[in-house]
Amino acid sequence: MEHIANITTGLDIAQIRKDFPILQQQVHGKPLVYFDNGATTQKPQVVIDAEARYYEEYNSNVHRGVHHLSQVATDAYEKARHIVAGYINAAHSHEIIFTKGTTDGINLVANTMSRRFLKAGDSVIISSMEHHSNIVPWQIACEEAGATLKVIPITEKGELRMDVYESMLDDTVKMVAVTYVSNTLGTVNPVQDIIALAHARNIPVLIDAAQAIQHISIDVQALQPDFLVFSGHKIYGPTGTGVLYGTTEWLNKLPPYQGGGDMIKTVTFAKTIYNELPYKFEAGTPNIAGSIALGTAIEYLQQIGLPEIQQREEALMAYAMQELRKIDGIRFIGDAKNRSGVISFLVHNIHPFDMGELLDQQGIAVRTGHHCTEPLMDLFQVPGTVRASLTFYNTKEEIDKLVAGVKRAASMLL
């Protein structure tokens, strides 16, 4: 889809940008141009207000008190769970477990899955483009069980070798865990096919949706992952929030992750009866304010409309690619046909940190480095990349500033 981008999607972006207080500020005397949305997105005022309102008006613990405030807090917390369930079309709210983020969700599944279902001789499949969060927990799980971690290779363009993946699915495989969208390459993986191929052999699949949930409409009943995880802070919600979706069947099969309050029905020194879903996996006082505000973030997104957001982001991506391609000596790391949100590049032999610093001087925030995908950097034999990650509140003018900024930086560094 290489066309001259049409950025008009009917969204009033000037108005929408006013919803995000942080976007109004200047950095080094220049208006902030924020292209680090893959690391974390900015928060609209309604989200900031929702978090503050909890502390101002009904701060109280959930699922415990009979008193008024505790009931208000519990209702708001459970409403947020309901909003998340609706957003990904989960069949039941109890399939939504609130976590600290993607990392927490993956650790929960890797830990409990390996304790109950992984043994020596088994294997787990991940891909070459995983974030460290979807590598290290499985390394730990495999090491403790005596299982093997297998890695799906990728092409030079940064697309999964699906033929190799298919041949890797043998009787030893007990789990497949892959990212929906690569945070470094922007590749959108064919998760539907990945899941279908695994399910044909009764192998469960975890989808890391950290870079997909804010860009792509996800219907878990259509897609049928066994687990899907994401972070609240990458979808305009607070840090320290996240979601693990799991099917009722799998969440019931897994043992508890952490023990403590809220995850129990009854406790005696002889035996503890665990609570039902979702509470079985939510030990201790959760991030009540954060999860409530995550619900608000999703409502905000739904009000703007994910289809409109998707259309705008696709247009911005196409425009950014078209303009960046014109820069002398630019080289893209990852050039997949299907991509979303993220563009990684290098210019001549300029070190990404130097480029990042000079862009920062111009008020432009990009991420530089290995993006927590060190194995991917080794594969592409680069020390790191400059990464611009876009979202719907970015503008064509900001892309122009980025392109001009990269050119200016290159002229100074070469």
Fill in the amino acid letter for 231: S
* Segment contacting ligand 7TS by CB under 6 A, of 8-16, 77-85, 127-135, 214-222: 127-135
Q: Which of 372, 382, 404, 413 is catalytic?
A: 372
Smallest distance, ligand 7TS to C-beta of residue 168, A: 21
Tell me which residues in 151-180 interact with ligand 7TS (CB under 6 A): 179
**Beta strands, E only, 64-192:** 96-99, 123-127, 148-152, 173-179
Q: Does 189 bind ligand 7TS (CB under 6 A)?
A: no
Number of residues written out for the chain? 414
DSSP-derived letter for residue 67 is S
Task: Select 231 or 296, whichever has its Cβ closest to ligand 7TS.
Answer: 231
Query: Contact between 208 and ligand 7TS (CB under 6 A)?
Result: yes
What amino acid is encoded at 344 in this protein?
S
CB of 212 to ligand 7TS, least distance (A): 8
Give the interface size with ligand 7TS as a residue count (CB under 6 A). 17
Nearer to ligand 7TS, 73 or 106 (CB): 106
Decide if 142 is catalytic: no
Phi first, then psi: what are they for 129, rounded to 5°?
-105, 25
Q: Of 78 and 208, which CB lies nearer to ligand 7TS in the complex structure?
A: 208
Direct distance between the N- and C-terminal alpha carbons of the chain, in angstroms, rounded to an integer: 33
Q: Taking Cα atoms as reference points, which of 34, 73, 44 lies closest to residue 289?
A: 73
Q: Does 291 bind ligand 7TS (CB under 6 A)?
A: no
CB 77 within 8 A of CB 291: yes
231 counts as binding ligand 7TS under rule CB under 6 A: yes
| 137 prior amide bond cis, ω within 30 | no
Q: How far is CA 97 from the centre of its chain?
A: 15
Nearer to ligand 7TS, 73 or 242 (CB): 242
Binding flag, residue 133, ligand 7TS (CB under 6 A): yes
Integer Cα distance of 246 and 92 in angstroms: 10
Query: Smallest distance, Å, CB 66 to ligand 7TS?
Result: 35
SS (H, E, C) 312-329: HHHHHHHHHHHHHCCCCC
How far is Cα 361 from Cα 318, in angstroms, rounded to an integer?
A: 26
Which of 44, 78, 80, 101 is the binder for ligand 7TS (CB under 6 A)? Answer: 101
Of the pair 9, 211, the CB lying nearest ligand 7TS is at: 211
- Residue 43 interacts with ligand 7TS (CB under 6 A)? no
Binding site for ligand 7TS (CB under 6 A): 38-39, 101-103, 131, 133-134, 179, 183, 208, 210-211, 231, 367, 371-372
So which residues are the catalytic ones? 372
